Structure 1
Amino acid sequence: MKKIVDIETMTLEEENKFKNEKGFDLSFVIEELQKIPNAAKEKMNHSKKRPITLIEDYLNTKIKNDLLLVKRLLRVYFSAYTNEPINCILLSPTSEGKTYSTVQVSEIFPKDDVISIGRLSPTALIHQYGELVDPDGYPLKERLEKLELDIFNAESEQDKKSIHELKQIKTDMMKTAKNLVDLTHKIILFLDNPSPQTYEMLKPIMSHDKKEILYKTTKSDGSLSVKETIIRGWPATIICSAKNEAKNEVWAEIASREIILSPNTDVTKYHAANKLTSQKMGMPSILENNNNEKRIIEFYVERLRSSLVKLCVDGNPIVNPFYEMLADLFPHNEGITMRHFKRLLSFVNIETLVNAKSNMKIEFMLHERKEKKVFVVTSLKMIEDAIKILGNISTIAPEKIKFYNEVFLPLIQEKSTTQISLGEDPQRRLAETLDNITVTKEEAAEKFTKVFHKVITPKAIQEYYLKQLSDEGILDWKKNEDNKKQYLYFLSSKLSIHNLTTVVRQLNDRHDKDFLYVWSCLVKPFQLSCKMGKMIRIFDNSNSNITYQEFKKKISGSILDLHDNQGDKND
């Protein structure tokens, strides 16, 4: 077999040898191919920033005043290349920028990895994105094409016997064929909310129940025969929706499988977005386009993608010495907290992996395969950063929580002060009179306008905020006895959102008091796996070995070195 020459990674000696043997001068081609990698390296050296930060900076020029959403979406996208892809849903009213933001992020990722679809029918994914395979899972495309060519040639020669035999072979092949939809390392964007039936189909995929799921559907040829389809792998899914999904009959199950995000709705964002639009539409495109900048960012994305795929080839490559502490500290008072906890760890892991070059690592030798494996160590900094980026992990949309905290609660407190007598404890009095303090949709709309400096109708407030918070059990309502057409909203219970910053603080306290326990959590799994292999060393991003004391210092500190070389090469 001839060796394929990779001219992009060719050394000078190899280039000269190739030039002398083949008579080709590749210097111009190599120079062109190296322009983007060299520019990417120069950009990192000049900025002293990591690739993930440079990607965020670029997207923030496209998505105005929504820094947190950019960080969150990027992590969801990159999670597609790990063993635990993340699912999210963007909920907000129409024209708040959720679809625009999602599409902008998708444009810097490989086109083959992103599946963008509108309103999807339950079987559209099966019919549109699959390939035929034989019972052993091998693709049939080339064999079918060869059969078609053979049939064509036989028909040209009027060889009836061969035509019959070849068509029978094709028929037999199609009878046992299955449709394979491989969603490994894919990102599915639902630019419109799917139907409840599609949600039902997606549930086992989004739950990561099995690596392969068999679906049986009726063939579309009118024969009523059954077509078997295998869905392989788990994609990262992003759903954009402007509707009140709480009305969806399967919403509770879907919400437990997804992180709920919302774009920033501050008026400063609208102004910044309008300025960007006016710039795009008021100036010639050729003056604004910076293809080199986008190509550099795509280079960073591709290198991060390759790094993640390589790290996760054998499953989870993370060593989190705080895993036992996290499990103990995280709330565990109801069943849904199990999924909340997995959601948190997914973000901790992706944060650790996108910063893999800068984090400490463990080298492990597998005895049987005589192969070295590298695992990435999660630091307290990674946990803290993941919690800051993730924010709310409940199934209530962030936009609703913002309304509750900045509009409804202050309005209740303002109204309650008129009922508090001199000398009374306001907090105690507030707790005692919660059921008696009510808010109308008109009052909430007026307060909303004052807080966010944008006009909203009472009807919109009722539909998008008051009703949905009532559906979640956060608010309750009753009819006004003096006006039966008017609804009065009040607090039914305190909003229960896990304060994850408390978890970080407690982790820090435990780490300081009992570092030996943290160390034991790090080395114990490797000691138990001594028959499988041996932990060789712990090292940093400069490939220097880490001592016990250095590990103790760095596991709680910031990232080892702000400037990593992830965009320069892929180890």
Structure 2
Amino acid sequence: MINENAALYKDFHACDNPECSWSPRKIVRGVEVKFDGGSFTFRYGDRIAGPYHDIYQLTPEELSEKLGIDLEAALAARLTALQIYEDRELEIRDLLEIRDLVEALGVTVKRDDMNKVVTFLAMLSAFTDNDQINVSFRAESSTGKSYIPLEISALFPQDRIVRIAYSSPTAFFHERGARDEETGEIMIDLEKRILIFLDQPHNQLLERLRPLLSHDQKELIYKITDKREKLGLRTKTVRIIGYPAVIFCTGRLALDEQEATRMILLSPEV
């Protein structure tokens, strides 16, 4: 699948050389193959196919039919797209060697190299399909356990960051969701989101988040009680969609085993 994170680095290599795999536009057998860092499009004359976010799922037969070209030309165009993608992935890996990443992140976080790299990669994982990473910073009070997550989060799109100072077990579901008028469910979209809990969440909230942290299902249904209803208590259905990357900043050194197995445990340098 096309690595969405590659789009973050497409400006690192702006190449006009048509022989270079990173060239944004290549022509093979009259078919224009164009890659924008996140998806491929193909053009033959006035016919266009795409965008395709997963080039591995595209078959030559489909491309042949959509562009009105013979199967051999479609196969050549698809192979060119695959070569562009794979060469680009290799170059991205070279660009993001750990030492380079440490140096880049050092602009905002001077020390704590291992912690800042793990935090950055955990936040970056939010943009994958199902490989999100959860991290817990554990330390005594006033040791700067929230400093690294807050600094690193500034490098990501802010509409994807959710910073939570405190939330009760039910407020998290009430305030984050939007009501679906057709089903009456509260919908919470956490796809490609980074959740940062600036302090230890309520124990009951942690317990309710366990299926989310362990990636049990892409969509989770919760039943919560709403005490604000005029007619008394009422059960509401909450549907959570997607896997976020979750960062916890806690002063509680003891951690329940069920939470500990669902996250990477870090301690900031003192």
TM-score range, shorter chain: 0.5 to 0.7
1:127 alignment partner in structure 2: 174
Q: Residue 136 of structure 2 contacts residue 263 of structure 2 at CA under 8 Å; is this kept in 1?
A: yes
CA distance in 2, matches of 1:49, 1:237: 26
How far off is 1:96 after superposition? 2.3
Residue 230 of structure 2 is matched in structure 1 by: 222
Q: Pick from 182, 201, 215: which aligns with 1:208?
A: 215
Partner of 1:90: 137
What residue is the counterpart of 2:123 in the other structure? Answer: 77
How far, CA to CA, are the matches of 1:66 and 1:231 in structure 2? 34
Using the TM superposition, give the Cα deviation of residue 134 of structure 1 relative to its aligned residue in structure 2, in angstroms.
4.2
Equivalent residue in structure 1 for 2:149, among 102, 108, 113: 102
CA shift for structure 1 position 94: 2.1
SS in 1 for 2:166: coil
Q: Partner amino acid for 1:205?
A: L
Q: In 1, distance between residues paired with 2:196 and 2:134?
A: 10
Q: Is the 8 A contact 1:87 1:238 kept in 2?
A: yes
* Corresponding residue number in structure 2 for 1:343: none
CA displacement, residues 106-132 of structure 1 (integer Å, 9 cap, x when unaligned): 111111111100122111221111112
Contact kept in structure 2, 1:214 and 1:230, CA below 8 Å? yes
Contact residue 60 and residue 66 of structure 1 kept, 8 A: no
Query: Which amino acid is 2:269 matched to?
Result: N
Residue 192 of structure 1 corresponds to 199
Mind listing any 5+ residue stretches in structure 1 that lack a counterpart?
1-47, 136-175, 266-571
Deviation at 1:240, TM superposition (A): 0.5
Alignment deviations for residues 268-313 of structure 1 (CA, whole Å, 9 cap, x no partner): xxxxxxxxxxxxxxxxxxxxxxxxxxxxxxxxxxxxxxxxxxxxxx
Structure 2 unpaired stretches of 5+:
1-93
Residues 60-100 of structure 1: CA deviation (Å, up to 9, x unaligned): 13222211111110110011111221111001122322201
Which residue, out of 60, 66, 74, partners 2:112? Answer: 66
Residues matched between the structures, number:
174
Please give the secondary structure, in 2, of the residue aligned with 1:216: strand
1:22 is matched with none
> Match of 1:225, as an amino acid?
R
User: 1:340-397: CA deviations, max 9, x gaps?
Assistant: xxxxxxxxxxxxxxxxxxxxxxxxxxxxxxxxxxxxxxxxxxxxxxxxxxxxxxxxxx
Give, in whole Å, the separation in 2 of the partners of 1:55 and 1:109.
15
Cα-Cα RMSD: 2.0
Residue identity in the other structure for 2:268 = P
Output the amino acid matched with 1:177: G
Q: Is the Cα contact below 8 Å between 1:59 and 1:104 reproduced in 2?
A: no
Shift of 1:215: 1.2
Greater C-alpha Rg: 1
TM-score, normalising length from structure 2?
Answer: 0.60
CA distance in 1, matches of 2:189, 2:118: 25
Matches within 5 A, 1:135-150: 135=182
Q: What is the rounded CA distance, in whole Å, between the counterparts of 2:140 and 2:155 in structure 1?
A: 26
Cα pair 2:101 2:117 within 8 Å, conserved: no
| Structure 1 segment 349-388 matched on structure 2, within 5 A | none
Structure 1 letter corresponding to 2:260: A
Report how far residue 51 of structure 1 moved. Answer: 8.9
Relative distance call for 1:183 and 1:241 in structure 2 (3 A) is same
Equivalence for 2:262: 257
The answer to whether the Cα contact below 8 Å between 2:140 and 2:253 also exists between their aligned partners in 1 is no
1:186 is matched by which residue type in structure 2? R
TM-score (structure 1 length as normaliser)? 0.29
Give percent identity, aligned residues only. Answer: 34
Q: Deviations over 1:144-183 (max 9, x none)?
A: xxxxxxxxxxxxxxxxxxxxxxxxxxxxxxxx42110011
Q: SS in structure 1 opposite 2:269?
A: coil
Deviations 1:522-545 (A, max 9, x none): xxxxxxxxxxxxxxxxxxxxxxxx
Once the 2 structures are TM-superposed, how far is the Cα of residue 54 of structure 1 from its aligned partner?
Answer: 5.7
TM-aligned CA deviation for residue 59 of structure 1: 2.5
Q: Which amino acid aligns with 1:258?
A: M
Give how far 1:52 is off: 7.7
1:56: Cα distance to partner? 4.0
Q: Alpha-carbon deviation of 1:49? A: 4.5
